[in-house]
Amino acid sequence: MFTGSIPQCIGNVSRGLTVLDMRMNKFEGTIPTNISSVWLTSLNLHGTHLRGNIPSSLATCVTLKVLDLGNNNLNASFPSWLGVFPDLTVLSLRSNKFHGKIRTLPPMLFQSFSSMMEIDETTKQASYMEDVFYEDSTTLVIKSSLSKL
């Protein structure tokens, strides 16, 4: 239940950071403009009350697999650089106030969104995240013991 703004210094500590999950907090303000990390694989700011743009510095996070910015108050033109993530499997921008044309997402990107789809066995059709959220895995190291969560 964090409140206030996300400090800009989060971009300074992002070196080596692979997962940044701050979902469901009560932040004010915008997404820090200096978040950039070639190691970041998961960024989850879902439902955090953020507004403004998605900073273009995120385009440097080319290893992103999960980008969840859903249920915020982001109010900007659709970010044209979202097609730069070759390994992206989850993209959630729902329940924001984006505007403008979506013209830069390559068709192959949609094929990698396997984590966002669920196959209904009776209809054999994929459905987009209805009321179910995606699952994300994390590797946890405790006392030199490796476990997969």
- pLDDT for the residue 128: 44
137 vs 27, which has greater pLDDT?
Answer: 27
Q: What is the DSSP letter of 91?
A: E
Categorize the per-residue pLDDT at 148 as very low, low, confident or very high, splitting at 50, 70 and 90: low
Q: What's the rounded Cα separation, in Å, for the pair 57 and 95?
A: 22
pLDDT, tens digit, 9 for 90 and up, residues 32-66: 988 888 888 999 999 999 999 999 999 989 999 88
Residue 25 has pLDDT above 90, yes or no: yes
- pLDDT for the residue 82: 84
- pLDDT for the residue 139: 53
Helix (H, G, I), strand (E, B) or coil at 103: coil
Q: Where are the domains of the chain?
A: 3-148
The CATH architecture that domain 3-148 belongs to is Alpha-Beta Horseshoe (3.80)
Closest CA to 110 of 80, 68, 79, 82: 82
pLDDT, tens digit, 9 for 90 and up, residues 83-140: 888 888 888 888 999 888 877 777 777 666 665 555 666 665 544 444 445 555 555 5
- pLDDT for the residue 130: 45
